[in-house]
Each structure stands twice: as structure tokens, then as C-alpha cells.
Amino acid sequence: MGKIPSVVASYLKLPDVACYTGHCLRRSSAALLADAVVDITTIKRHAGWKSTTLAEGYVENSIENKTKIANQVLVGTATSAITKTVNVSENRSLKVE
């Protein structure tokens, strides 16, 4: 089972196929579980980790979490930009000719 990642890497003609180990499957599956918003206990059991801190690293680095944070930043930025635009517009006097 642990050799499957190197076989896949070899088939895909990736460099350094020896670097692809069974650990890749462990990391990838933990990240996929985090993306699926599975609880931390399930991730720990799946990967065989006792450390919550280690498992939380996969949650923090999950695509789902990054997307959530990016959306919060974008919504916050957009809201801030709209507020600034409204404030600037309200403070300008219109010239009528």
C-alpha cells in the first residue's frame, strides 16, 4: 500500500518518485476529510494521530478552510470598499452647471 504513491508518480512521470510514499496518502486523505468538514476526532482516528495539534494543521490548511477565510476577507473588503465609496460620495458636493 505504501508504494502506491511512488507507482502513481512514476506513471505520471513526476520527478523524484522515491519522495512519494505512503505518507502522501495519509496527508491527502486527512486533508480531504478536513475539506469535508469532518470533526477533528475522526481525522485523528483515521490517520492514527494522538495529537490534536497535528490534526488541526490539516484543518487549517484544508481548501474548505482557505476558501472560507478568503470569502470572509473578500466580503469584508467589499463591504469596506462600499462603505468608503458611500462616505466619499456623501462628502463631495456636486457641481451643477
**E strand or H helix at 89, and its extent?**
helix 63-91
Domain tally for the chain? 1
Does 56 map to a domain? Answer: yes
Q: Does residue 70 lie in a domain region?
A: yes
Question: Looking at residue 94, what is its pLDDT?
Answer: 44
pTM value? 0.52
State mean pLDDT over 63-87.
68
Residue 17 included in any domain: yes
Name which of 14-18, 54-58, 77-81 the model is least confident about.
77-81
In a domain, 44, yes or no: yes
- Is there a contact between 14 and 20 (Cβ–Cβ < 8 Å)? yes
CA distance 64 to 57: 13
**The residue type at 50:** K
Lowest-confidence range among 9-13, 60-64, 74-78? 74-78
Per-residue model confidence as pLDDT tens digits over 2-42: 788 889 889 999 999 888 888 778 888 888 888 888 888 99
- Does any domain span residue 27? yes
Q: Residue 97 falls within a domain, yes or no?
A: no
For 27, the domain range is 4-91
